[in-house]
């Protein structure tokens, strides 16, 4: 089957961003011919397609001028700003061209905002886009003659999260005037979701929580849950103080013996001092020190310019970490992820809090820290930060909202805490209780292999594609 996958650039080397698109493409390409159409406002991101090119039959990248994107937000004020920002008539026309040329069976739209590219005539219906479910007989009049008879292209939209739910939660978590902005975006997204449901009948989300929310709209649509996949051959358990195996996502495992041998013991003071980062500046801190963490070390990772991660990180450092240090004075926190906000950069003290910025291989920090923390207070969907730590056999302490949507069992494969005192208590317990630490680590890995591996998610995805196309 031929699939056109429409997505922002699906792979960045730090494996902290757009991993779902990257992994879904790899899974689909095992049985299908995948053509990628990627839309970006950053020309530098076109350099990040080295790996995904090995998987896709063809790749087309369309660049949107940032100034045009900003003007679109003023041009279409009643669309969610992310949707208006990404609108491009060129993208819409390119989708049709690729369908014509390659005889595409299924168009897989990644992110809700991609629905705007299937609009027939946005200029005729200002701020009220008509999203196409299929390219039916009416639409086929514009197709080449040899494709007209019985020609249909099915559309699947993978929103991952329920976007209006996310923005409603952002509204509840912020004060005036920010809450008004988030409330307005929530209503716009709810409207856009409802309009899209009338046209696109095949939806994909990553959790049952998001599915239940969207079902409350009462529209007659087919909502499929396809969780975020994890490459369990890439994110492997490994002993602290070792260098992770240099495994290409498309090749065999290399450097495995080196991985098993390990290196010298860990000294917390030898972790990288804070890079002198400016916002958005890529910095590979992993080159400074590649050794690991048998010490009392914690990891918070994510895109550090995102409001949900900024809020969680500041909350953890100000409210939870001091309580932990009352009992374990040598505990250290590593804040890992690209584009750290200025408030995050200020946390770095070269003593017990380290802000690394951009890194090339997140496995080195997951593997060389003792516990991963997920103190999120806002959000929707499911967290890669938990799934990847599970896959590498590292215990997680998370809030309920942080673990929402995942198949977790409290005190079996994860520690859950929703107050500052409970969160600190769970961290202290895991650092001091080896048996409990090992239990959570072992069960976390089992959970990923059983429910989130490429094999499991691949089966769900294949069933979805076959049902959408009407193949029994």
Could you give the angle at which helices 454-469 and 19-28 cross, rounded to 10 degrees? 70
Does residue 128 fall inside a structural domain?
Answer: yes
Give the CB-side neighbour count of residue 73, counting CA atoms within 13 A.
9
Residue span of the structural domain in which 20 resides: 2-229+455-469
Which residues, other chains included, contact 18 with Cβ-Cβ below 8 Å and sequence gap of 6+?
7, 8, 9, 10, 11, 12
320 against 11, higher pLDDT? 320
Is the pTM value of this prediction over 0.85?
Answer: no
Neighbours of 242 (CB within 10 A): 19
Could you give the angle at which helices 178-197 and 163-173 cross, rounded to 10 degrees? 170
Same domain, 207 and 255: no
What tens digit of pLDDT does each residue of 410-437 get?
A: 999 999 999 999 999 999 999 999 999 9
Give the CB-side neighbour count of residue 469, counting CA atoms within 13 A.
18
Does residue 237 fall inside a structural domain?
Answer: no
Q: What is the mean pLDDT of the chain?
A: 83
Same domain, 276 and 293: yes
The pLDDT of residue 471 is above 60: no
CA dist 469 → 197, 419, 464 (Å): 18, 47, 9
Q: Which two tokens stand for residue 282?
A: 């890529």
Same domain, 299 and 349: yes
CATH of the domain at 339: 3.40.50.2000
Does residue 241 fall inside a structural domain?
Answer: no
Does residue 235 fall inside a structural domain?
Answer: no
Cα 71 versus chain centre, distance? 27
CA dist 461 → 163, 205, 464 (Å): 22, 12, 5
Which residue, 300, 413, 307, is CA-closest to 356?
300
Domain count, the chain: 2
Rg (CA), the chain: 23
Same domain, 443 and 409: yes
Long-range CB contacts (within 8 A, 24+) of 48-52:
48/9, 48/11, 48/12, 48/13, 49/9, 49/11, 51/11, 51/22, 51/248, 51/249, 51/250, 52/10, 52/11, 52/22, 52/25
Residue 14's pLDDT is: 57
Residue 43's pLDDT is: 81
Helix (H) or strand (E) segment spanning residue 396: strand 396-398
Same domain, 86 and 114: yes
Residue 153's pLDDT is: 85
Same domain, 416 and 463: no
Residue 295's pLDDT is: 81
Compute the average pLDDT of residues 200-215.
Answer: 95
Please tell me the distance from the alpha carbon of residue 17 to that of residue 4, in angstroms, as a whole number: 21
Please tell me the distance from the alpha carbon of residue 30 to that of residue 21, in angstroms, as a whole number: 15
Helix (H, G, I), strand (E, B) or coil at 153: coil
Please tell me the distance from the alpha carbon of residue 310 to that of residue 307, in angstroms, as a whole number: 5
Same domain, 374 and 394: yes
What tens digit of pLDDT does each residue of 277-318 get?
A: 333 333 443 332 333 345 899 999 999 999 999 999 999 999
Does residue 362 fall inside a structural domain?
Answer: yes
Residue 250's pLDDT is: 36
Does residue 95 fall inside a structural domain?
Answer: yes
CA dist 211 → 205, 405, 416 (Å): 6, 10, 23
Does residue 58 fall inside a structural domain?
Answer: yes
Looking at the chain, the whole-number percentage of residues with pLDDT higher than 70 is: 79
Q: Which 8-state DSSP code applies to residue 145?
A: G
Residue 381's pLDDT is: 66
Residue 144's pLDDT is: 46
What's the full length of the chain, in residues?
Answer: 472
């Amino acid at each position: 089957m031929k699939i056109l996958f429409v997505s922002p650039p699906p792979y960045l080397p730090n494996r902290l961003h757009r991993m779902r698109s990257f992994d879904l493409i790899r899974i689909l390409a095992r049985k299908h011919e995948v053509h990628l159409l990627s839309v970006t406002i950053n020309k530098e991101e076109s350099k990040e397609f080295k790996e995904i090119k090995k998987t896709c039959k063809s790749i087309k990248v369309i660049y949107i001028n940032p100034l045009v994107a900003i003007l679109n937000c003023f041009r279409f004020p009643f669309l969610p700003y992310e949707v208006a920002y990404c609108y491009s008539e060129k993208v819409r026309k390119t989708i049709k061209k690729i369908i014509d040329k390659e005889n595409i069976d299924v168009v897989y739209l990644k992110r809700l905002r991609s629905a705007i590219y299937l609009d027939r005539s946005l200029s005729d219906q200002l701020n009220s886009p008509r999203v196409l479910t299929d390219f039916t007989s009416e639409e086929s009049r514009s197709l080449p003659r040899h494709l007209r008879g019985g020609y249909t292209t099915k559309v699947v939209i993978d929103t991952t999260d329920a976007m209006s739910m996310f923005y409603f939660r952002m509204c509840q978590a912020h004060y005036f005037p920010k809450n008004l902005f988030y409330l307005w975006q929530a209503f716009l997204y709810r409207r856009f979701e409802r309009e899209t449901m009338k046209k696109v009948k095949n939806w994909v989300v990553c959790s049952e929580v998001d599915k239940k929310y969207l079902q409350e709209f009462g529209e007659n649509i087919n909502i499929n849950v396809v969780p975020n996949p994890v490459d369990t051959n890439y994110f492997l358990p490994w002993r602290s103080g070792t260098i992770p195996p240099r495994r290409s996502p498309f090749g065999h495992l290399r450097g495995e013996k080196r991985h098993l041998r390990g290196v010298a013991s860990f000294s917390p003071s030898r972790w990288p001092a804070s890079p002198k980062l400016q916002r958005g500046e890529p910095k590979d801190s992993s080159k400074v020190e590649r050794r690991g963490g048998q010490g009392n070390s914690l990891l918070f990772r994510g895109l550090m310019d995102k409001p949900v991660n900024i809020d969680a990180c500041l909350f953890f450092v100000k409210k939870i970490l001091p309580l932990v240090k009352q009992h374990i004075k040598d505990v250290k926190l590593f804040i890992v992820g690209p584009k750290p906000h200025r408030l995050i950069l200020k946390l770095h003290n070269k003593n017990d809090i380290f802000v690394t910025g951009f890194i090339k291989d997140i496995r080195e920090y997951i593997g060389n820290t003792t516990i991963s923390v997920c103190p999120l207070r806002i959000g929707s969907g499911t967290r890669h930060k938990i799934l990847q730590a599970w896959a590498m056999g590292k215990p997680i302490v998370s809030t309920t909202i942080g673990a929402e949507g995942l198949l977790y069992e409290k005190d079996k494969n994860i520690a859950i805490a929703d107050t500052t005192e409970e969160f600190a208590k769970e961290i202290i317990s895991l650092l001091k209780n080896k048996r409990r630490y090992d239990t959570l680590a072992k069960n976390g890995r089992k959970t990923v292999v059983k429910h989130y591996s490429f094999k499991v998610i691949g089966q769900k995805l294949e069933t979805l594609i076959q049902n959408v196309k009407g193949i029994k």
